[in-house]
């Protein structure tokens, strides 16, 4: 089943055109990665999907439902979570409060408690830091918190924007392992990365974006072998 | 000289805390809106003033009904506070919806000018309505809680003189403190209060948490304006006579209290308001004494503002503010 279907979208920031007709789809159970260099339009694609950026033309469907230009609080409630670039932890809120904000639309204290326990199984460190201010956590911890916060929504589709950004290799390794783990537990993943090699090696399929256009797509294992990609992104 | 300052201290404390509590609650309205929108809602002083008029109108109306004299004054006050706060809260929500939301992405100066324009409109609307019903825009409400109380400070130590005040002082102080404690609880301990802080920190990310940001902003305006209106009622109870221009100076001072405490910081607004009230009353009682008669009590504002300037020189972010905001 197709979870997400993006159809020829164009997105502008004022007069600047960031996306020039992006089409992609994500099927249930997949890990799909979107790779490309700085300024290619990766983040803008995710923002257009979740509703943070307005698309000018094109359509976006989530599980067959039209969500084009719906505001984020309406798209995310359908079961898609967007972990933004740079983690964007609520710095003055405690770890616990950050997690609770992830569960903002969730009804029932016991459901929330249960989800929190689930998040702790992925990120045990968060449990020890419940009352620490989010902003005082290390980069790696903040990324874990950002993912944990998104998991509080119990998403069917998890969109991650450069989760490995600025992290030490061991931490990046951990994060990718967790992504694989989440995927095997049934969460569909759309992963934006500059870390092309690692992203492609865990992804079922990948898209390469350049100047707001998809220039290549295919199976992750094929793209890793592709000469153009090797030259441009895996040097 | 020290002896004279000490003698008047009990009275200064009572007067200063009461005035400070009024500043503090009004300051909350400025600071909450600033925290969430980086907007200085200069119309907030006029929301306070509107509250004073609406409350006085309710008092006159209810007390004009014969049977109402059976209602204890305190119950009456609570009813009027709730009614008035609800109305001014909705006025605040309406202002944001009509005047500020369309300008949310405009350069900052534009909503600021709009706010000043709204101040004038509110002043004139209230003045028009007051003249229509009262024949005069200066309105005197019924006298409430006017028994005199004497605080026997001299019994504690002969250094002090007794402090004398009306019951209304205690009422104002008590209600203001209850409002502040309730707000503090709401903001720090409830789901919507946490969402309010999240929106203030990062609106985009908050919206990714399924938080309806516009709704949170509306709630912020409702609470801020309800508190402002309620304080207007308290002011009317305490001073009896009100006019459509009381919101200007009081609003300005409450704004200064918010800056003093660190604009955007809720507890800062409370501390700033209390401090400003105390400093003002202290200056009012002692300025002439301290300066050998050169400056009289009428210079109390200069004294208060001088302290504000000093604080801002040494701590530009305000007493409880964060050094250099981490806003994006
Ligand atoms: N808020 C904005 N205002 C104006 N232009 C923007 C804005 N955000 C992004 N852009 C522009 O849109 C284009 C795409 O940016 P985007 O952030 O989507 O790139 P990206 O692929 O995520 O890059 P990076 O890897 O550096 O995060 C860039 O040219 C960028 O300058
Ligand atoms: Mg990006």
Q: Is A195 in the pocket of ligand 1 (CB under 6 A)?
A: no
Question: Cβ separation of A82 and B208 shorter than 8 Å?
Answer: yes
Q: Under CATH, which number does the domain B2-314 receive?
A: 1.10.3470
Q: Is A164 in the pocket of ligand 1 (CB under 6 A)?
A: no
Q: Which CATH superfamily is domain A2-234 in?
A: P-loop containing nucleotide triphosphate hydrolases (3.40.50.300)
Residue B206 with chain A: CB contacts under 8 Å: 90, 101
Q: Is A22 in the pocket of ligand 1 (CB under 6 A)?
A: no
State the pLDDT at residue A232.
76
Whether residue B92 has pLDDT greater than 90: yes
Domain ranges of chain B: 2-314
- CB distance A81 to A158 below 8 Å: yes
Write the CA distances from B7 to A180, B1, B15, B159, B285, integer angstroms: 74, 10, 14, 6, 11
The band of B256, judged by pLDDT with boundaries at 50, 70 and 90, is very high
Q: pLDDT digits over A118-131, tens only?
A: 999 999 999 999 99
State the pLDDT at residue B287.
83
Domain ranges of chain A: 2-234
Whether residue A141 has pLDDT greater than 60: yes
Distance from CA of B275 to the nearest CA of A (A): 25
Question: Cβ separation of A88 and B204 shorter than 8 Å?
Answer: yes
Question: Cβ separation of A104 and B191 shorter than 8 Å?
Answer: yes
Q: How many helices (H) and strands (E) does chain A have?
A: 10, 10
Q: Is A224 in the pocket of ligand 1 (CB under 6 A)?
A: no
With an 8 Å Cβ cutoff, the interface of chain B facing chain A consists of 191, 194-195, 197-198, 201-202, 204-213, 326
Q: What is the pTM of this model?
A: 0.92
Task: Give which of B217, B214, B208, B264 is closest to A101, Cα–Cα.
Answer: B208
State the pLDDT at residue B326.
40
Task: Give which of B232, B226, B241, B50 is closest to B127, Cα–Cα.
Answer: B50
Ligand nearest to the CA of A44: 1
Question: Cβ separation of B204 and A52 shorter than 8 Å?
Answer: yes
ipTM of the complex: 0.95
Residue B211 with chain A: CB contacts under 8 Å: 73, 101, 104
Parallel/antiparallel/unpaired status of strands B148-151 and B163-166? antiparallel
Phi, psi of B237 (to 5 degrees): -65, -40
The mean predicted confidence, pLDDT, of chain B is 91
- CB distance A160 to A83 below 8 Å: yes
Put simply, whether A111 touches B (Cβ < 8 Å) is no
State the pLDDT at residue B323.
57
Cβ-Cβ contacts under 8 Å between A and B: the total is: 66
Residue with tokens 């159809």: A7
């Amino acid at each position: 089943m197709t979870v997400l279907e993006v159809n020829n979208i164009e997105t502008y920031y004022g007069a600047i055109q960031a996306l020039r007709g992006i089409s992609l789809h994500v099927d249930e159970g997949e890990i799909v990665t979107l790779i490309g260099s700085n300024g290619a339009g990766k983040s803008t694609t995710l923002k257009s999907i979740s509703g943070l950026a307005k698309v000018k033309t094109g359509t976006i469907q989530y599980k067959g439902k039209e969500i084009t230009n719906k505001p984020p609080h309406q798209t995310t409630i359908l079961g898609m979570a967007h972990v933004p670039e740079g983690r964007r932890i609520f710095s003055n809120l405690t770890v616990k409060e950050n997690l609770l904000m992830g569960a903002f639309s969730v009804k029932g204290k016991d459901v929330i408690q249960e989800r929190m326990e689930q998040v702790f199984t992925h990120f045990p460190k968060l449990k020890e830091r419940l009352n620490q201010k989010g902003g005082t956590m290390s980069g790696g911890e903040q990324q874990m918190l950002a993912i944990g916060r998104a998991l509080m929504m119990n998403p069917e589709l998890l969109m991650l924007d450069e989760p490995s950004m600025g992290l030490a290799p061991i931490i990046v390794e951990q994060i990718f392992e967790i992504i694989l783990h989440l995927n095997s537990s049934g969460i569909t993943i759309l992963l934006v990365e500059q870390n092309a090699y690692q992203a492609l090696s865990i992804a079922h399929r990948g898209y390469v974006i350049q100047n707001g256009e998809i220039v290549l797509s295919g199976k992750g294992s094929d793209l890793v072998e592709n000469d153009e990609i090797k030259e441009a992104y895996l040097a | 000289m020290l002896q004279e300052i000490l003698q008047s201290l009990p009275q200064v404390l009572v007067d200063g805390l009461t005035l400070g509590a009024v500043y503090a609650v009004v300051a909350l309205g400025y600071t909450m809106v600033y925290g969430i929108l980086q907007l200085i809602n200069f119309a907030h002083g006029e929301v306070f003033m509107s509250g004073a008029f609406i409350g006085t109108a309710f008092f006159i109306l209810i007390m004009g009904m014969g049977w109402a004299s059976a209602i204890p004054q305190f119950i009456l006050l609570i009813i009027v506070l709730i009614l008035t706060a609800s109305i001014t809260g909705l006025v605040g929500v309406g202002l944001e919806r009509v005047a500020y939301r369309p300008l949310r992405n405009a350069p900052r100066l534009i909503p600021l000018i709009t706010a000043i324009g709204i101040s004038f409109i509110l002043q004139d609307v209230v003045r028009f309505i007051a003249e229509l019903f009262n024949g005069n825009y200066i309105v005197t409400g019924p006298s409430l809680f006017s028994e005199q109380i004497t605080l026997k400070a001299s019994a504690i130590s002969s250094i002090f003189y007794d402090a004398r005040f009306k019951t209304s002082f205690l009422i104002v102080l008590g209600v203001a403190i209850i409002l502040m404690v309730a707000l503090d609880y709401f903001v720090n301990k409830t789901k919507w209060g946490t969402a309010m802080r999240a929106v203030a920190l990062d609106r985009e990310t908050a919206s990714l948490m399924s938080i309806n940001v516009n709704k949170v902003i509306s709630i912020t305006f409702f609470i801020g304006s309800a508190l402002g209106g309620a304080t207007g009622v308290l002011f009317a109870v305490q001073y009896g006579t009100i006019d459509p221009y009381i919101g200007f100076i009081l609003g300005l001072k409450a704004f200064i209290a918010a800056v003093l405490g660190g604009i955007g910081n809720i507890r800062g607004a409370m501390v700033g308001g209390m401090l400003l009230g105390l400093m003002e009353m202290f200056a009012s009682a002692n300025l002439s004494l301290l300066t050998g008669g050169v400056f009289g009590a009428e210079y109390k504002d200069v004294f208060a503002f001088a302290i504000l300037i000093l604080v801002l020189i040494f701590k530009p972010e305000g007493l409880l503010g964060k050094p250099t905001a981490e806003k994006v």
